[in-house]
């Protein structure tokens, strides 16, 4: 039940936003993304703002900022990023898109689940949905602009991998 694990979920969420900010900046190392550096910076800034909003919530609720739990799902996605500049940037962008897409879905679910239990938090999650959805779309478009054929084939690969991973149980209350 979500409400029994709110402190862990919020701490996990804070780390998720922190990682989303650093990830957007990590993408700036790829030559193919040099022309998108300002867009990536804008995403990093937005994620950093989300991180601060979650930190504010933690403070308001007297929840200490703590250790992140590694996500087996994200680890498995990132492990299959291939080396080599073109392959790597496409795979990395697709993984980022899937992670953002998953955040978008999870925030929608949380907004719905929390509506009757914690309306303020429900509203907060609902307010993030659009932004994470935009990040999903932006990363996917960036990959398609670099190489649409390769992106389509790797997206198929990653969706299959996601379908395999999603059935593995994760006992830790976390967002991904």
Summarize as ranges the residues that interact with Fe ion (CB under 5 A).
17, 20, 47, 50, 100, 132, 135
Closest distance to Fe ion from the beta carbon of 47 (Å): 5
Q: Considering only CA atoms, which of 107, 146, 111 is closest in space to residue 129?
A: 107
Minimum distance from residue 167 beta carbon to Fe ion (Å): 25
Min dist. Cβ of residue 100 to Fe ion (A) = 5
Smallest separation, CB 173 to Fe ion (Å):
19
Residue whose CB is less far from Fe ion, 39 or 147: 39
3-state secondary structure 75-132: HHHHHCCCCCHHHHHHHHHHHHHHHHHHHHHHHHHHHHHHCCCCHHHHHHHHHHHHHH
Output 32 or 132, the one with its CB closest to Fe ion: 132
Cα–Cα dist 66/14, whole Å: 9
Q: With respect to Fe ion, which residue has the nearer C-beta, 17 or 32?
A: 17
Q: Which residues are within 8 A (CB) of 154 and not within 5 positions of it... i.e. 6 or more apart?
A: 90, 91, 94, 143
Q: Which one, 45 or 166, has the nearer CB to Fe ion? A: 45
């Amino acid at each position: 039940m979500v409400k029994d694990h709110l402190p862990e979920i919020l701490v996990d969420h804070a780390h998720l936003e922190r990682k989303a900010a650093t990830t957007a900046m990590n993408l700036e190392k790829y030559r193919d993304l040099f022309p998108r550096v300002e867009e990536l910076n804008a995403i990093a800034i937005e994620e950093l703002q989300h991180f601060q909003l979650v930190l504010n919530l933690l403070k308001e609720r007297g929840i200490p900022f703590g250790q992140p739990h590694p996500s087996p799902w994200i680890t498995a996605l990132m492990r299959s990023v291939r080396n080599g500049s073109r392959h790597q940037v496409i795979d990395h962008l697709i993984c980022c898109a899937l992670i953002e897409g998953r955040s978008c879905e999870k925030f929608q679910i949380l907004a719905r689940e929390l509506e009757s239990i914690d309306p303020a938090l429900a509203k907060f999650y609902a307010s993030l949905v659009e932004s994470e959805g935009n990040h999903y779309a932006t990363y996917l478009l960036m990959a398609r602009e670099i190489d649409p054929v390769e992106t389509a084939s790797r997206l198929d690969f990653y969706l299959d991998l996601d379908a395999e991973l999603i059935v593995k149980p994760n006992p830790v209350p976390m967002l991904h």
